[in-house]
Structure 1
Amino acid sequence: MKKSERINQMLRFINQKQHFTLQDLMHEFQISKRTALRDIASLEEMGAPIYAEYGRYGGYRLLNQMPLPPISFNSQEIYALYFAMQALRSFSNLPFQVSFRSIHEKFINELSESQRQDIERMQNRVSFRHTEQIRDSTHLEILLMASVKNIILKIDYQKAHQKSTRNIQPISIYSMKGYWYCQAYDMHKKAYRVFRCDRITSAELTNIQPLEELNEITIQNAHSIWKPSEQAVQFKCLISPAGVEQFQQEHYPSMKLIHETENTYIIGWYEPNEVDFIIKYLAGFGRSIKIIEPIILKEKLRQYYRDLLDDI
């Protein structure tokens, strides 16, 4: 990191901490004690109101916050931001209804001429391919903010030809294969569920008391809270190495991979009303899997293939 860039970041760092030590700077910026002392001197020359505190708990203190310079990015950071923005191309809906075009135009307009030329050349050398969003999801913002603020929503949910009204406590939202999904706690069923966001036809805030234990759940650990009901059916499938790669690309909270001796298996569970879903999911693996148990699941998969052949 160049010194000018490090000084800029250091100013933001101490502006936030107010009180800091040489060790703080050395650890945060991976610099030596000598470099940290030189950087403090540079900050003082810039007018930063820093004074030293001596004694056992000494260090440095910023007398008052300083106006910070505008955030600037080096060329590598600009290219990284450009690559990250390409993910937005796939979505006609995003939380807060921000369009890719408006972000892209603002981003390009702030670049220098040489950086703009590099980006244009990059567009002709790199191909970004995504799964296009299949259906509009108009309530992403309220779903996301309800999960952040721990608020229960009243939603209307349309699935096939059935419409239901539910109270849910959203936990997180995510996108996969062209659809947005919301992980939530269904207050009526008293169970965790995944809702396809495009099937949520309305969403409104309620005054229902939320479950406080959901506060600390994040999208990283949300899968761990999914529990089978008493009626859930356990299943186990032998899976090939090629199937393992496919599983890693798409799987659900109710299933995982295990290794026994020299073989790999998918194990998991499904609710009785999800049998059609699990059959279609397993059928997508083709010859990469072999159902071990239950036998009824194996028979249903065979019947699924027979029905496909009859339709040809």
Structure 2
Amino acid sequence: MKKSERINQMLRFINQKQHFTLKDLMAEFQVSKRTALRDIASLEEIGAPIYAEYGRYGGYRLLNQIQLPPISFNSQEIHALYFAMQALRSFTNLPFQVSFRSIHEKFINELSEIQKQDLERIRNRVSFRHTEQIKESKHLETLLMAAVKNIIIKITYQKGHQRRSRTIHPIAIYSMKGYWYCQAYDMCKKAYRVFRCDRILSAELTDIQPLVELSEMTIQNVHSFWKPSEKAVPFKCHISQAGIEKFQQEHYPSMRLINETEQTYLVGSYEPNELDFIVKYLAGFGKSIKIIEPVLLKESLREYYRDMMENI
């Protein structure tokens, strides 16, 4: 990192911390003690009101907040931001969609002509190929903000020809294979559920008190809330390395990989009404899996393949 860039970032760092030490600067910016001392001197030269505190618990203190200069980006950072924004273009729906368009426009307008030409050359050399969003999801922003602010909402959910009212506590949203999904806790069924966002026809905020244990829930541990019903059917499949890689690309909270006698297995469970879903999911693995149990799942997959052959 150039010294000018480091000093700019250091200004923002100390403005936020107010009190800091040489070790803080050395760790944050990966510089030596000598460089950190020179940088502090440079900060003082440009007018940063830094006061040195001596003693066992000494360090440096900012006497008052600094009026920071506008944020500037180097060429690598500009390219990274451009790539990130292009990755979102395949979605017709995004949380804060209008704000995203505005940010993209402001980002481009703030660039110099040379930077714009540079990005244009990148656009002509890089292909951003993403799974296009299949169906519109109108309530993404409501779902996301309900998850962030721990607000329980009432939704109208359509599955097939049925429309049902559900009261849920959204935990997180994510996108996969052209669809948006909402991970939530169903307050009526008292169970973890995943809802396809395009099937949510309405979403209204409520005054219902949220569950305390959900307040600190993150997308990393949300699957711990999933529990199979008493009617759930366990399954087990032997899986090859190719299958493991596919599993890592797409899997659900009802399944996991285990190792037994130096072999890897895909295990999990499915609800009786999810048989067609699990058959289609496993069919996507082709020869990379072999169903061990149950027999019904094995026979259903064979029937699925026979139906496919008849349509060829």
TM-score (norm 1): 0.96
Give the AA of the match of 2:239. Answer: I
- Number of aligned residues: 312
Contact 1:258–1:264, Cα closer than 8 Å, also in 2: yes
Contact 1:89–1:100, Cα closer than 8 Å, also in 2: no
Question: Percent identity of the aligned residues?
Answer: 81
Residue 138 of structure 2: SS of its match in structure 1?
coil
Stretches of structure 1 that go unaligned for 5 or more consecutive residues are: none
User: Structure 1 residue 256: deviation in Å?
Assistant: 1.3
Does 1:284 pair with 2:303?
A: no
Give the whole-Å Cα distance in 1 for the aligned partners of 2:279 and 2:99.
37
The corresponding residue for 2:106 is 106
Stretches of structure 2 that go unaligned for 5 or more consecutive residues are: none
Does 1:75 pair with 2:82?
A: no
Contact 2:22–2:37, Cα closer than 8 Å, also in 1: yes
Give the whole-Å Cα distance in 2 for the aligned partners of 1:193 and 1:19.
45
Deviations 1:235-261 (A, max 9, x none): 101122222222111111111122223
Higher alpha-carbon deviation: 179-188 or 299-308: 299-308
Give the whole-Å Cα distance in 2 for the aligned partners of 1:145 and 1:101.
19
Deviations 1:47-88 (A, max 9, x none): 111111111111111111011111110001101111111111
Give the AA of the match of 1:115. Answer: Q
The corresponding residue for 2:180 is 180
The corresponding residue for 1:228 is 228
Give the whole-Å Cα distance in 2 for the aligned partners of 1:99 and 1:91.
14
User: Structure 1 residue 101: deviation in Å?
Assistant: 5.0
The corresponding residue for 2:59 is 59
Give the AA of the match of 1:208. Answer: I
The corresponding residue for 2:9 is 9
Residue 94 of structure 1: SS of its match in structure 2?
coil
Higher alpha-carbon deviation: 154-163 or 258-267: 258-267
User: Structure 1 residue 263: deviation in Å?
Assistant: 2.5
Give the AA of the match of 1:149. Answer: K
Give the whole-Å Cα distance in 2 for the aligned partners of 1:68 and 1:100.
25
How does 1:77-92 map onto structure 2 within 5 Å? Answer: 77-92=77-92
Contact 1:138–1:198, Cα closer than 8 Å, also in 2: yes
Give the AA of the match of 1:205. Answer: L
Contact 2:191–2:225, Cα closer than 8 Å, also in 1: no
Does 1:269 pair with 2:275?
A: no
How does 1:206-221 map onto structure 2 within 5 Å? Answer: 206-221=206-221
User: Structure 1 residue 18: deviation in Å?
Assistant: 0.6
Root mean square deviation, CA, Å: 1.4
